[in-house]
Amino acid sequence: MLTRIDHIGIACFDLDTTVEFYRATYGFEVFHSEINEEQGVREAMLRINGTSDGGASYLQLLEPTREDSAVGKWLAKNGEGVHHIAFGTADVDGDAADIRGKGVRVLYDEPRTGSMGSRITFLHPKDCHGVLTELVTSNPEH
Protein backbone atom coordinates (compact mmCIF):
# COMPACT_ATOMS: atom_id res chain seq x y z
CA MET A 1 0.00 0.00 0.00
CA LEU A 2 1.28 3.44 -0.90
CA THR A 3 1.74 5.44 2.29
CA ARG A 4 2.97 8.91 1.39
CA ILE A 5 4.44 11.21 -1.20
CA ASP A 6 8.09 10.27 -0.76
CA HIS A 7 9.47 12.98 -3.02
CA ILE A 8 9.00 15.20 -6.01
CA GLY A 9 11.88 14.93 -8.49
CA ILE A 10 12.95 18.19 -10.10
CA ALA A 11 15.38 18.16 -13.03
CA CYS A 12 17.86 21.02 -13.16
CA PHE A 13 20.86 22.12 -15.21
CA ASP A 14 22.95 23.27 -12.22
CA LEU A 15 22.45 21.43 -8.94
CA ASP A 16 24.38 23.88 -6.78
CA THR A 17 22.46 26.90 -8.07
CA THR A 18 19.13 25.11 -7.65
CA VAL A 19 19.97 23.97 -4.12
CA GLU A 20 20.87 27.56 -3.22
CA PHE A 21 17.52 28.79 -4.58
CA TYR A 22 15.55 26.34 -2.40
CA ARG A 23 17.73 27.14 0.63
CA ALA A 24 17.50 30.93 0.24
CA THR A 25 13.83 31.03 -0.79
CA TYR A 26 12.25 28.37 1.43
CA GLY A 27 14.89 27.54 4.02
CA PHE A 28 15.22 23.91 2.86
CA GLU A 29 18.58 22.32 3.60
CA VAL A 30 20.29 19.37 1.94
CA PHE A 31 19.59 16.21 3.93
CA HIS A 32 21.56 13.91 1.62
CA SER A 33 23.48 14.17 -1.64
CA GLU A 34 25.02 11.56 -3.89
CA ILE A 35 25.97 10.62 -7.42
CA ASN A 36 24.00 7.70 -8.84
CA GLU A 37 26.17 6.35 -11.64
CA GLU A 38 23.53 3.86 -12.80
CA GLN A 39 20.95 6.61 -13.24
CA GLY A 40 23.50 9.16 -14.49
CA VAL A 41 22.59 11.87 -12.00
CA ARG A 42 24.01 13.98 -9.23
CA GLU A 43 21.28 14.64 -6.71
CA ALA A 44 20.38 16.45 -3.53
CA MET A 45 17.53 15.41 -1.25
CA LEU A 46 15.96 18.34 0.61
CA ARG A 47 13.93 17.04 3.57
CA ILE A 48 10.59 18.76 3.91
CA ASN A 49 9.03 16.85 6.85
CA GLY A 50 8.79 13.53 8.67
CA THR A 51 5.80 11.22 8.28
CA SER A 52 3.82 8.96 10.63
CA ASP A 53 5.21 5.77 9.02
CA GLY A 54 8.79 6.72 9.86
CA GLY A 55 9.54 8.03 6.39
CA ALA A 56 9.86 11.58 5.20
CA SER A 57 8.92 13.80 2.28
CA TYR A 58 11.63 15.37 0.14
CA LEU A 59 12.36 17.45 -2.90
CA GLN A 60 14.87 15.55 -5.02
CA LEU A 61 16.95 17.85 -7.21
CA LEU A 62 18.53 16.04 -10.17
CA GLU A 63 21.39 17.20 -12.38
CA PRO A 64 22.45 14.79 -15.15
CA THR A 65 26.06 13.64 -15.15
CA ARG A 66 25.81 12.63 -18.79
CA GLU A 67 23.65 13.73 -21.71
CA ASP A 68 22.43 10.20 -22.48
CA SER A 69 20.92 9.66 -19.02
CA ALA A 70 17.13 9.64 -18.69
CA VAL A 71 17.24 12.98 -16.84
CA GLY A 72 19.70 14.43 -19.37
CA LYS A 73 17.42 13.52 -22.27
CA TRP A 74 14.38 14.82 -20.41
CA LEU A 75 16.09 18.16 -19.67
CA ALA A 76 17.15 18.55 -23.31
CA LYS A 77 13.55 18.07 -24.41
CA ASN A 78 11.62 19.83 -21.61
CA GLY A 79 13.99 22.15 -19.74
CA GLU A 80 14.05 22.45 -15.97
CA GLY A 81 11.03 21.45 -13.93
CA VAL A 82 9.11 18.65 -12.27
CA HIS A 83 10.42 15.34 -13.60
CA HIS A 84 8.48 12.80 -11.50
CA ILE A 85 6.50 12.10 -8.36
CA ALA A 86 7.43 9.27 -6.01
CA PHE A 87 5.16 7.41 -3.62
CA GLY A 88 6.51 5.63 -0.57
CA THR A 89 5.64 2.00 0.11
CA ALA A 90 6.79 -0.65 2.54
CA ASP A 91 6.80 -3.20 -0.33
CA VAL A 92 7.94 -1.90 -3.71
CA ASP A 93 7.93 -5.43 -5.17
CA GLY A 94 4.38 -6.22 -4.09
CA ASP A 95 2.93 -2.85 -5.02
CA ALA A 96 4.67 -2.88 -8.42
CA ALA A 97 3.25 -6.36 -9.11
CA ASP A 98 -0.23 -5.25 -8.02
CA ILE A 99 -0.09 -2.14 -10.21
CA ARG A 100 1.29 -4.15 -13.16
CA GLY A 101 -1.72 -6.47 -12.74
CA LYS A 102 -3.97 -3.45 -13.28
CA GLY A 103 -2.44 -2.85 -16.71
CA VAL A 104 0.15 -0.19 -15.85
CA ARG A 105 3.59 -0.71 -17.33
CA VAL A 106 6.33 -1.03 -14.70
CA LEU A 107 9.63 0.08 -16.23
CA TYR A 108 12.00 -2.24 -14.31
CA ASP A 109 11.55 -6.00 -14.02
CA GLU A 110 13.30 -5.85 -10.64
CA PRO A 111 13.57 -2.76 -8.42
CA ARG A 112 16.87 -0.88 -8.59
CA THR A 113 18.87 1.03 -6.02
CA GLY A 114 17.77 4.63 -5.56
CA SER A 115 18.65 7.53 -3.27
CA MET A 116 19.94 6.73 0.19
CA GLY A 117 19.94 2.99 -0.53
CA SER A 118 16.23 2.81 -1.27
CA ARG A 119 14.63 0.28 -3.63
CA ILE A 120 12.80 1.87 -6.56
CA THR A 121 10.90 1.28 -9.75
CA PHE A 122 9.06 3.55 -12.16
CA LEU A 123 5.66 3.43 -13.83
CA HIS A 124 5.27 4.47 -17.45
CA PRO A 125 3.99 8.07 -17.72
CA LYS A 126 1.66 7.19 -20.61
CA ASP A 127 -0.19 4.84 -18.26
CA CYS A 128 -0.28 7.44 -15.43
CA HIS A 129 -1.90 10.41 -17.20
CA GLY A 130 1.42 11.88 -18.33
CA VAL A 131 3.18 11.64 -14.95
CA LEU A 132 6.36 9.62 -14.54
CA THR A 133 5.67 7.86 -11.23
CA GLU A 134 8.21 6.22 -8.94
CA LEU A 135 7.59 3.69 -6.18
CA VAL A 136 10.08 3.82 -3.29
CA THR A 137 10.82 1.55 -0.36
CA SER A 138 13.10 3.54 1.92
CA ASN A 139 16.24 2.04 3.42
CA PRO A 140 15.51 1.78 7.15
CA GLU A 141 19.04 3.02 7.93
CA HIS A 142 18.07 6.46 6.57
User: For residue 54, what pLDDT is reported?
Assistant: 64
Sequence-separated (6 or more) residues with CB below 8 Å from residue 25: none
- Annotated catalytic residue within 39, 63, 83, 84: 84
Other Cβ atoms within 10 Å of 115 Cβ, number: 27
Q: Which amino acid is at 83?
A: H
User: For residue 55, what pLDDT is reported?
Assistant: 72
Q: Which amino acid is at 105?
A: R
SS3 label, residue 5: strand
| Whether the predicted pLDDT of 75 surpasses 90 | yes
User: For residue 11, what pLDDT is reported?
Assistant: 98
User: For residue 43, what pLDDT is reported?
Assistant: 97
User: For residue 52, what pLDDT is reported?
Assistant: 65
User: For residue 142, what pLDDT is reported?
Assistant: 65
| Whether the predicted pLDDT of 105 surpasses 70 | yes
- Distance, in Å, from the CA atom of 9 to the CA atom of 22, rounded to the nearest integer, reads 13
- Annotated catalytic residue within 20, 39, 60, 141: 60
Q: Summarize pLDDT for 83-104 with one digit per residue, the tens.
A: 999 999 999 999 999 999 999 9
User: For residue 10, what pLDDT is reported?
Assistant: 98
Q: What is the DSSP string of 87-135?
A: EEES-HHHHHHHHHHTTPPBS-SS-EE-GGG-EEEEE-GGGTTT--EEE
CB 67 within 8 A of CB 25: no
- Annotated catalytic residue within 7, 39, 63, 83: 7
Q: Is there a catalytic annotation at residue 63?
A: no
Average pLDDT over the chain reads 94
Q: Is there a catalytic annotation at residue 84?
A: yes
pTM summary value: 0.91
- Annotated catalytic residue within 39, 63, 83, 134: 134
- Annotated catalytic residue within 39, 43, 63, 83: 43
Q: Is there a catalytic annotation at residue 39?
A: no
Q: Summarize pLDDT for 22-56 with one digit per residue, the tens.
A: 999 999 999 999 999 999 999 999 999 876 666 78
